[in-house]
Chains A and B, each alone.
Chain A
Amino acid sequence: MEKRVTFNGWLLPLCLIFPQILISAVFFFYPAGQAIWQSLFIPDPFGLSTQFVGLDNFEYLLSDKFYRASFVTTAIFSSLVTIVSMVPALFLAVLADRLIKGAGTYRTLLIWPYAVAPAIAGVLWLFMFNTRVGVVSWYLGQLGYDWNHVLNETEAMGLVVVSSAWGRISYNFLFFYAALQAVPRSVIEAAAIDGARFWRRFFTIVLPLLSPTTFFLLVVNIVYAFFETFGVIHTITSGGPQQATTILVYKVFKDGFVGQDLGSSAAQSVILLVVVGTLTVLQFKFVEKKVHY
């Protein structure tokens, strides 16, 4: 991690690195420390004093059925988002990879949704499925299906999953496409000479060669579903109906800012820190070793 040739002096490099360290300290380490600290206290009902309670906040959280339900919701939500965003992306990338003409144009069109913010994506999908004016819900009604994600928990979950996965299709497409382009042509042609048809080549050669990319995208998409879908949930369902779409990050926000339950919110932040830390380490492990067959 170091150059053979370095410059002398220690004051200059300290000055150079200072801005980043300062901002990290003020906006990362201090707040994270605060979260850990606050998670050990509960404020009295008037907010005048706080009382040290040790790990009670955590104990209470882990026995709270709403919090546990939120864990389950998050697990279901992020698995679905990952699948719904990766499978179509791989399919489109395979199609694009087979085309020589037009692939560039298709790629340009497919990149668009990546630039659309999750919150905006939420508004777009809400508009299509709105119970009063939505086009898709209207046509579903004509077919005899009464769509109402405001009341139906499964439909609400389906809608936030699809809205969250939508923009990620572009992102995953780019990675799969780049990886497919890098698959050595000679290997594919050798298999073709041996008489392997397209789908057989795909499952026995191409897919295994894509595994590093696939694992990387798996982790990245799970991280995305955990932490960056707040905008989608907030615009479409606000965590409802009941608690059906309250994922962990949404619950931190709801308990901390709406419910003003700072001890519990801080404890939730600490649990999330552990989750995101684990995922980051996992991501680096995969990136470093990669997965090879």
Chain B
Amino acid sequence: MSDARDTAVIKNDPLPGMVEKKGSSLWLTHVLMLIGIFFVFFPIWLAFVASTVTQEAIVTPPMPLLPGDHFLENYKRALFSGVNVPVSTMLLNSLVMAMGIAIGKIIISLLSAFAIVYFRFPGKSLFFWMIFITLMLPVEVRIVPTYEVVAGFGLLNSYSGLIFPLIASATATFLFRQFFMTIPDELAEAARVDGARPMRFFMDIVVPMSRTNIAALFVILFIYGWNQYLWPLLITTEPDMNTIVMGIKQMFPSGDDTADWPVIMATSILAMIPPVIVVVSMQKLFVSGLVDSEK
């Protein structure tokens, strides 16, 4: 497992060696790279352009490929009136859901990983396997019964209903367990000699030492929570509780009416901004966390 971490941090020798290309071939590499990035980026660019022009400009194809001057107007309309519900409401719901899932998962996983690594107690291996098996049960394969459980608790159209069923996951627990195993035994020994209670050791040593892992996991879990689609679709029947990712589909009219494209595209852009900011600003952490946690 540890070599997965190495792959993320090892950088090539920065001195140009004999296998580096120079001159025209180097330019070719840059050009190919830019072409690749163009294709990868084009859908996002087009959505941005569509969010800055009028509906007329879009419905009379071909639509322009450069931004227009209706940026403020479209975004204002999306944020404060939307189609069924203002997009600002959906953004807030998404934020609560993503933060709830990320923070909740991190807390329960830290606690259970600490119990598994630092204690011996009856039923431990049973619990360990119970957690392990949850790896195999994505929400998509148990939607109907899980829906019934949540409905039975009266949690439809509530934040708790959005968050709790997605909060238990083995991935975070395993990542923390793996990291706790690398904490030197001497620290726990010293803590015991000093008469520190286990929770004191947990709060003063384990949690601070895990902060890099916590941050990396936060990025991954935030995006996981933000990008949920099927679950919110099932349990939020009131537009007021829609999250932005699932709400976009609801903005398309049924039947033959033309969709309000500028507002829908502005909403798409708004829906991707928070996760993109999180990913790009915490890129280093996120990359090592991703390569670590999934390998």
Contact = CB atoms under 8 A, between A and B. Distances in A.
Contacts of A181: 7, 10-12
Q: Which of B44, B185, B258 has the most CB of A within 10 A?
A: B44
B30 A253 contact: no
A34 B152 CA distance: 13
B213 interface: no
Interface string A12-35: 111011011101111111111011
A115 B275 contact: yes
A135 B145 contact: no
Nearest to B271: A120
Contacts of A30: 145, 149
A109 B283 CA distance: 11
Interface in B162-199: 164-165, 167-168, 173, 177, 180-181, 185, 188-189, 192, 198-199
B189 to A, nearest CB: 5
Contacts of B205: none
Contacts of A26: 149
Q: Which of A21, A97, A108, A201 has the most CB of B within 10 A?
A: A21
A53 interface: no
A99 B30 contact: yes
Contact of B149 (A3, A27, A120): A27
B114 to A, nearest CB: 6
Contacts of A220: 294
Interface in B3-40: 6-8, 10-14, 16-21, 26, 29-30, 32-33, 36-37, 40
Interface of B: 6-8, 10-14, 16-21, 26, 29-30, 32-33, 36-37, 40-44, 46-47, 50, 58-59, 61-63, 65, 107-109, 111-112, 114-124, 127-128, 130-131, 133-138, 140-149, 164-165, 167-168, 173, 177, 180-181, 185, 188-189, 192, 198-199, 201, 223, 226-230, 233-234, 245-246, 248-249, 258, 261, 264-265, 268, 271-272, 275-276, 278-280, 283, 287, 290-291, 294-295
Given A12-B199, A110-B37, 5 more contacts: A2-B120, A5-B189, A12-B119, A13-B116, A120-B268
